[in-house]
A and B are shown apart, each in its own frame.
Chain A
Amino acid sequence: MQFFGGSATTEASLLPAAPPGTGAGGPGNNAHMLYIFNRAGVCLLYREWNRPLRTLNQQQDHKLMFGLLFSLRSFTAKIDPTVVEKGNLGVPLLPGQGCSFYSFKTNTYQLNFMETPSGIKLILITHPKTGDQREPLKYIYNLYVEYVVKNPLYVPGTPIQLILPVYHITSYSSSNF
């Protein structure tokens, strides 16, 4: 039996909502939001530092984000001019199949993306002038491995509610972009 795991939600609220140096466009922080999804589309972790406009409820928001990346990956692979072999648009890809995109930019924000062959998707939304974020995303993936995956008390595939990993991941993301 599992005699714990349910009430851990209270923990997340113990965390500093916005670590030092964050908040509405404060200096040294260009991170807006961070999402970590697993292959099943479960949002394992979501944090936000600067997101004044919210039009969707959280669940819809996560679904939309996941769906966007899912389709975008399929599109980017389809229009890749460098390869001969192409899947049909809409035909699901194997993880790691085809080319992979790592960011797109609008005039107001930049979306940074990393996907592992195991289907973990990391999304970091930052200020459009923050540059290449692949290394930092890899670092966050490493934090996820060290503090979440190796924790015996973490049940794979469930939202991350343990203090330590959330603390490390969010404080890194908020202070390094």
Chain B
Amino acid sequence: MIGVGKAKQYGNVLDKPLSRGRQEVSLSAFAFLFSELVQYNQTQVDNIAELERRLEDAGYAVGARVLELLCHRDKGNRRETRLLGILSFIHSTVWKVLFGKVADSLEKGTEHEDEYMISEKELLVNRFISVPKDMGAFNCGAFVAGIVRGVLDGAGFPAVVSAHFVPIEGQQRPRTTILIKFAEEVIKLLLQILKEFFVFVARKPRKSQYCP
């Protein structure tokens, strides 16, 4: 594997001071690169869900390294151990570093505990996108969802993260919401399903299975 951002045992990379993050490239250079990421992955999948999953994986790798970089750079910062702390770290610091601005909003889900949403009116990766009809709800934001998942995972908060378009009234373009469900919530959900399944199985007259 390529050791991007990993601790290096080699001399010449260590000799190089870690970039302070002031360097810039043009937005279009990134847009073209991202475009190739999407197009390459299209050739590897059969459906939209799979495509989003692969973009999310790519994003995950970015997120994990962003966390390492930021922790290394701001040595004074302890690793966030509180859930709200890490969320606001993503919403402000991570967003600012990667996208040049703080995210538009960070909200707690109203329907479920442990569910959070980061929303962005115009997510950088969706800037140049208009999705053809036949791609349905495909959202390139899956890549950013992956970044968020990578950061959270690295900080010890495993979560399920997904990207969704949310229409805004009076606007031509929908905003993108990154939905974060923490693992606890996910586990609870799974337990619930399991419980229902067992109740269902228990209710079934078992004998019937063996009766001719």
List chain A positions with a Cβ less than 8 A from chain B.
Answer: 1-8, 10-11, 146-147, 150-153, 161-165
Contact = CB atoms under 8 A, between A and B. Distances in A.
A1 B43 contact: yes
Given A11-B132, A152-B31, A152-B39, 14 more contacts: A3-B46, A5-B134, A7-B134, A8-B132, A8-B133, A146-B128, A150-B32, A150-B35, A150-B128, A151-B130, A152-B129, A153-B131, A153-B132, A161-B132
**Which secondary structure dominates where chain B touches chain A?**
helix
B111 to A, nearest CB: 32
The residue among B34, B36, B39 with the most chain A CB atoms within 10 A of its own CB is B39
A164 B35 contact: no
A10 B129 contact: no
B211 to A, nearest CB: 48
A99 B17 CA distance: 51
A77 B182 CA distance: 67
B133 A152 contact: no
B38 interface: yes
Given A4-B134, A163-B130, A150 B46 contact: no
Contacts of B1: none
Contacts of A5: 132, 134
A176 B210 CA distance: 80
B132 A152 contact: no
Interface in B24-48: 28, 31-32, 34-39, 42-43, 45-47
The residue among B35, B39, B130 with the most chain A CB atoms within 10 A of its own CB is B130
A64 B12 CA distance: 61
A165 B28 CA distance: 17
Interface string B130-151: 1111110000100000000000
A98 B166 CA distance: 52
**Which secondary structure dominates where chain A touches chain B?**
loop
Contacts of A11: 132-133
B132 A4 contact: yes
Contacts of B35: 150-152
A11 B38 CA distance: 22
A150 B39 contact: no
Nearest to B132: A8
Given A1-B43, A1-B46, A152 B135 contact: no
Nearest to A4: B134
Nearest to B33: A152
The 3 closest A-B pairs by CB, nearest first: A152-B35, A164-B130, A150-B128
A67 to B, nearest CB: 31
B58 to A, nearest CB: 13
A152 B128 contact: yes
The residue among A6, A152, A164, A165 with the most chain B CB atoms within 10 A of its own CB is A152
A2 B43 CA distance: 7
15 contacts: A3-B46, A3-B134, A5-B132, A7-B134, A11-B133, A147-B128, A147-B130, A150-B31, A150-B128, A152-B31, A152-B140, A153-B129, A153-B135, A162-B130, A164-B130
Contacts of B37: 152
Nearest to B31: A150
Contacts of A2: 42-43
A127 to B, nearest CB: 30
B59 to A, nearest CB: 15
A7 B130 contact: no
A90 to B, nearest CB: 37
B47 A3 contact: yes
B129 to A, nearest CB: 6
